[in-house]
Amino acid sequence: MKAISISRKPGHSGQNTPHLDALSTTYVKSPHMISGWANTWVRIKLHWTQFQILRHCYKNPLDWIGGLHYLLKLRRNILGKHRIRKMVRLNDQYYTDLYIPGWKDSSYNRFVASYLYHFKPHKEKVNRLNQVFLAVTKKCPFQCEHCSAWDTLNLKDVLEAKDFQPILEEVYSLGVSQLYFTGGEPLLKIELLESLISKIPKNVKSWIATSGFPLTSEKALQLKKAGLTGVFISLDHYEAERHNSFRHHDSAYSWALKAAQNALDAQLAVTFSICLSNEMCQEEELLKYMKLAKECGVHFVQFLEPQATGRYRNREVSLSQESIASAEALYLKMNFGKEYLDYPIIHYSGYYHRRVGCFA
C-alpha cells in the first residue's frame, strides 16, 4: 500500500489545483481497486454465488435458468453491454456498486434473493425495502446552497433518542438491505448513531451521509466498532474556496478531507458525493475532481443532479442536455474504460433513472 503526501505549497492560492488545500497530511493512495484477472476471478465466484442462491430459492432447474436470465436482463437494462472491469475490495468483501451490498456477505445473498422474488415468488427471506434513509436531526452547522431540508433546517427536532429504535425495529421486520443515516448533519448525534448502529442486524449494512463535520479518528473507530459499513462525505468541488463558498462554512473542505482520511484509517467504505452543476459538468473539471478522489483514496464517487426543491425551490437548477451528456460520458469512461482502472467507482443515479426509471 503506497502512501503519498499531498500538501499546499507555501504562497500558493490553490485555486487551480485539485490538491488538498491547507493540509499537509499523508494519505493512503490505494482505494483497494481490483481489475484484470483478479476482477475476472472474483466475478466468476460471484456468479457461482448467484447460482447457489437460485438453487436455494427454486427446486426446478428451469427456474434456475429463468432466474439467471432475469438477473442478466436487469444488469443489461442498467449497464447495457458494458463489462464490469473493476471492483472495490474492503474488509474481505467485494463491491461492484455503491448501493449493492458487498459480495461474501449475508446481506448480498438476501439482496439477490429479494430481486429474484420479482421474477418468481419463493420461500426464502427477502427484503421489502432495498434502502432506507433516516434523518436523525434537523440541526446542521452549514448553510448549503442546494439544501433539500432548507424549510426545516435547524428547527427543533421532533423525535427524541428513544423514538428511533422502535421505528427501526419495524423497518427490520419488513427486511432492508442498507440503512442510511442522514440529517441535517447526523454526526451531531454521534452517541445516538453509535447506539442505533450497534443494534442493527448483521444482514443490514449501515452508512452515514455527512458533510464530514468533525469526523475525528476516534469517532470513526467508534462507529466502525459499532458496526458501521461506510460514509458518504459531501464534497462539491476540488477547490477549497469553491466548496467552502457552496457550503457557507470556512472549514467545510478541510473537514471533508480529514473525515475521508479518518474513515479510511478505520477501514470504512468511503464515498465522495458531489452535487453536479453545469459549470462542473465539463470533462476537464470532472477529471480534476476524480483525480482528487483518487489521491484521497476513496472507494466511490456519487454523482447527484440538482433538484428544484428545498433551497433550490422555484429556481432553474437542472443540468443542460450538454452537461448531462458530458457527465454520462465521463461516468462510462471511468467505470468501464481501461485507462481509469485505479480510479474510484462512480455511482450515477441520474444515468440509471433515464434508462430504467426510479429504483424506489
pLDDT per residue as tens, the chain (360 positions): 333 333 333 333 333 434 444 343 444 445 589 999 999 999 999 999 999 999 999 999 999 999 999 999 988 888 888 999 999 999 999 999 999 999 998 899 999 999 999 999 999 999 999 899 999 999 999 999 999 999 999 999 999 999 999 999 999 999 999 999 999 999 999 999 999 999 999 999 999 999 999 999 999 999 999 999 999 999 999 999 999 999 999 999 999 999 999 999 999 999 999 999 999 999 999 999 999 999 999 999 999 999 999 999 999 999 999 999 999 999 999 999 999 999 999 999 999 999 888 766
Query: Can you give the pLDDT at residue 30?
Result: 53
Please check whether residues 113 and 144 belong to one and the same domain.
Answer: no
Of 119, 151, 182, which closes a domain? Answer: 119
Please check whether residues 173 and 217 belong to one and the same domain.
Answer: yes
Query: Can you give the pLDDT at residue 288?
Result: 97
pTM above 0.95, yes or no: no
Cell of 296: 484521497
Please check whether residues 93 and 166 belong to one and the same domain.
Answer: no
Contact by Cβ (8 Å): 137, 184: yes
Query: Can you give the pLDDT at residue 360?
Result: 66
- The Cα–Cα gap between 354 and 129 comes to 22
Q: Which of 253, 224, 259 is nearest to 239 (CA)?
A: 253
What is the number of helices (H) and of strands (E) in the chain?
Answer: 11, 12
**Residue type for position 264:** L
Please check whether residues 261 and 320 belong to one and the same domain.
Answer: yes
* Strand, coil or helix: 40: helix
Query: Can you give the pLDDT at residue 23?
Result: 43
* Strand, coil or helix: 68: helix
Domain limits for position 48: 35-119
Of 88, 119, 150, which closes a domain? Answer: 119
Tell me whether residue 229 is in a domain. yes
Of 82, 97, 119, which closes a domain? Answer: 119
Please check whether residues 54 and 174 belong to one and the same domain.
Answer: no
Give the CATH number, domain containing residue 160.
Answer: 3.20.20.70
